[in-house]
Each structure stands twice: as C-alpha cells, then as structure tokens.
Chains A and B, each alone.
Chain A
Amino acid sequence: MTYKNRFTSSLELMGAYILAAFWVLPLLYAFWAAFHYSNDAIHFNIFSPLTLDNFREAWSQAPFLRYGLNTFLLVSFILPGQLLISTLAAYAFVRFKFSGANVAFALVLVQLMITPEILIVQNYVTLSKLGLVDTITGMGLPYVASAFCIFLLRQTFKSIPKELEDAAELEGCSTMGILWKVYVPLATPTFIAFSLVSVSHHWNNFLWPLIISNSVETRPLTVGLGIFGSPETGVDWSIMSAATLISVAPLLIAFLIFQKQFVQSFMQAGIK
C-alpha cells in the first residue's frame, strides 16, 4: 500500500468511528445519566458519584415488572399465532392450489399495503364490539394474520423440491405429516428470521397498544414508558433515563448478545 492510500484509509477509518460514536452517544448518555443524580447529569459532572436511586425511584413510580410481563405476554401471543396461521396458509397456497387461490393471495397481499397501523379507528370499534378492549388478546389480534409472514413462507416453501414431498408420501406420510416433517424443518431459517423481526416490531410497538389498553394489567412497556414521561410536572432526566433503560433493556440485551442473528434476520426478511 502506498503512503497516500494508507493515509486515506486511516482517515476513512477515523470517519467510520466518529460516525459510530455519534450513533451510540445518545444511548450512552442515557445510560450514564441513569446512574447519576440529575443535577450532575444535566451539568455533565463526569466525576460525580454513582447512584442507583433513579432506578429505585422509576421502579416505584410505575409497575415496570407488570408492564414487562404484559409485553412478554403480547409477544408470546402474537408470534406463535403468526407462525401457525401463516404456515398453514402458505402450505395451502404452495401445495393445494385450491380454486380461487390467486384471488385469495391477492387479498392477503392487500395487508402489505393497508397495515393495521392505519386502521386503528375501525379496529378499535370492532374490538370493543367483541368486548376485547383492554385485553392482551385484543391488542394482539389484528396482527396475528401477517401477510408478510405468509408471503415469506410461501416463497420458502416454493423452493422446496417436490421430490422430497413425493418421497415422504411414499413412506406413508399424511398431508399434515409432510408439512410438519418436510416443510417446517426446511423453513427453519425463515422462521427464525421472521420471528426476530416480528418480536422486535411488537416489543416496540406503541400506537395501537396505547389505544387499546387502559389499565396496568394490559399496558405494555412502551405505553408504560410513554405515560411515564408525559406528566408536565417537571421532568427528572435521570429518573426518565432510568425508566427508559428499564424498558428497553430486555430487547436491547437480547440484541447485543445475538447481534449477528438479528442483523442477518432483518437482512433476510428484507431481501425476499
């Protein structure tokens, strides 16, 4: 490498790190502020004492454990539902070619354009008629049938050679047995990719859960955090930072550990 090249590449490297610093600093600051008294946090007193008071205070001001449980329940309701329903539907599209399948698939794709986020008003009306307002079921139900998941699985199932299915049939596998023993195992990477994307999405979802929940028993972390910050009684930055950290910790820690899988899943889900 020539001298000039080495110079530009180290300059580029520096640029890359500076950009990265800008990208982590807001979060790092929140982290730092959460462990310091807010007076010190605001004035950037770097050598001020550490404290856990903010976490204690945030924890006592709002039932974060309950919120966390609600988020967990919500995600555990949506994801298995999505996987089960979409697997069946995708299998129907790929191997049954039932009459009207093309029209049916077009109707599925409509949901890619008209997502539940936009239909909040009418879906609220529907769920109140069903008596499901302020329930985890009501919060998850509009998302359980996912056009995106059906689409992804259909693409994956289509790539599975017919010979495998024929072989399984010869072995005496039933229709559902073929799905379970041939299709599902071969689609595992797609299942994982979709699951990580779906969990991240619903763990972080806010608007719809805000509308449909109105009690501590159903409110997920995001909504809990949203109403935590809102009182106009003067915000304590350090307590707010602590509350924010408590709320994002579970997913963020999972991401930091399985970073590669998360990024790859988003990549896979995006390409298809």
Chain B
Amino acid sequence: MKDNVRNFQGWLLFAPAAILLLAFTHYPTITTFLNSLYTNKSIIRPRRFSGIEGYESMLSDPIFWKVFANNMWLALGTIPTSIGLAIIMALIVNKAIPGRGLLRMAYFTPTMLPMIAVANIWLFFYAPEIGLIDQATSIFGFESTNWLGSPSTVLPSIMVMTVWKEAGFFMVFYLAGLQTISPELEEAAKLEGSSRWNYFWRVQYPLLLPTTLFVLINAFLNSFKLVDHLFVLTKGGPDNASNLILYYIYETAFAFLDVSYASALTIFLLVLLALTALAQFLFIEKRVHYR
C-alpha cells in the first residue's frame, strides 16, 4: 500500500517533465518519421503512403550529398583546430602568469556572443575590397577576393570564424580536465628533469584523453546543430557551397513547403546525431568499467 502511494507520488512529480518531453521530443520524432513515409498533401491530391520513396529521392538528391559533405568538411576543418587551440589556451590559462584573468576572458568572450552577432562582425572582414581581410592583403599586392561569394573560399572562411567562436568554449573543458591532474605529477616530472614538452605528451595529454573524447563528440554534434550564421553570411550559397543539413531542412520545410522531404532529411540528421551521442555513452561506460 505504501509502495503504491510512493509510486503515485513519484509519477506525479515526474509528470510535468514527462508531458513536455513527450509533446516536444518523442511525439515529433515519431510524426517526423511517419511524415517521411507519406507524400505531401496538396489541394489536388490527398496524402499517400509512399514508403521509402522519400529516402530514395534523398539519396539521389545531389544537394543532399552536397550539404552532407559540407557538414563533414566543416567538422573536419574546425574540430581538430579548435581542440588544438583549446588545449593551448587551457595550458596558458592554467598557469600562474601575469594577466591570467584577462587572457581567460579574451579567449572565452566569443562563446558568450550569439552566432548571429558573430556573423555580423565577420561579414565585414570578408567583404570584397572594403573588407578588413581584403584591405590587409591588398597592401601586399594581392587581388581582391569575394571570400563569401566564391564556392572555393566560402567554406574555409566560415571555418575560420567557427574556430574563433568555439575554441574558447572547448578551453573550458580542458581547464576543468587540467585541474583534476594532481600537481604532484608535475613536481615529480620536474625532479626527474623531464621537459615541459615531455610532461605534456607523457602525462597531461593522456590524462586529458577522456576530455578530448567528450569535446570531440560534442563538437561534432554542435557542428550539425549550429547554422545561424548562414542566415546572415551566405544563405547557404553560392550554389549551396556553404549550405548545411539543418539549414537545408529549414529551407525545404519553410521555404519550399515540402514537409515530407524535410522529414526524411530530419530523420537522417536525427539518426546520425543519435548514433554519435550513443557512441559517447558507450565510451563513457567503457571508461567506468576499466577503472
């Protein structure tokens, strides 16, 4: 009897969270999947079951492959660099050096800015001729480049901006990781006459490996979720050269009004991100087991 009361109380306390999660996570996931199996309803034709046709047309859609490739290039182009810089920043800020607070603030500030504001600021840097970068390169006699307007430079330009925005955020996790490393290890390394370089590669780097794994996976997830800057910088252009999956989903659903296809794309993105997140859970499990 007492068990029943506690059961009821427990469910009652969980109910508000459960209702909202069901309404805005589970229910839309299921309806998105169902919508991806049906054609769109139109004035002349009712909705019809089309099975995996939506996914077939996705696989034969060159724009889908383009935006997926862009996403992967973006991840590849930004994550290792951001992580490298984040480690350097964390090592700098972790030491007692003059102006440490100021340095930490400088590195972290871009994290606090909305991506849309970051894009506004960098838009000027990339502007052809009058932009900061073009003015700087013209001093050395380089020709003006339309950084965001040409397919070959647009993605690298966005990568540079993304690294600037994200490195300081990842630094925080490394800072947390470094602080768990016992200072005695450094003392010992010093006594052994080990160089700082050696100490980093033999002690700090291996001990930070779980942090790196965590950051790696979260950075990968983030690179798929963050598309705000495209609205200001390129709108996915030129010719989809900077378009990303989530922005393509947005376009498909809200500009082309093709909910069925947007649903298929959403399911693809969802499965990709869920598998990545699942890999993270499994890795963490493993770490616990080995301990």
Contacts and interface: CB of A to CB of B under 8 A. Distances in A.
B27 to A, nearest CB: 7
Interface size class of A (residues with CB under 8 A): 35 or more
Contacts of B124: 33, 237, 240-241
Q: Is the interface of B mostly helix, strand, loop or mixed?
A: helix
B81 to A, nearest CB: 13
B120 A229 contact: yes
Contacts of A260: 101
B interface, size bucket: 35 or more
A114 B270 contact: yes
A23 interface: yes
Nearest to B230: A207
Contacts of B108: 259, 262-263
Interface string A145-160: 1010010000000000
A271 interface: yes
A178 interface: no
A107 B101 CA distance: 41
Interface string B6-31: 11111111101111110111111101
Given A30-B121, A92-B11, A92-B13, A266 B172 contact: yes
Contacts of A12: 92
Interface in B230-275: 231-232, 246, 249-250, 253-254, 259, 262-263, 266, 269-270, 273-274
B176 A107 contact: no
Contacts of A141: 20, 24
Nearest to B247: A207
Given A120-B253, A229-B119, A237-B124, 20 more contacts: A92-B14, A96-B7, A98-B6, A111-B21, A114-B29, A117-B246, A119-B29, A122-B28, A144-B20, A145-B17, A145-B19, A205-B114, A206-B116, A211-B254, A222-B117, A225-B116, A226-B228, A248-B113, A255-B109, A266-B172
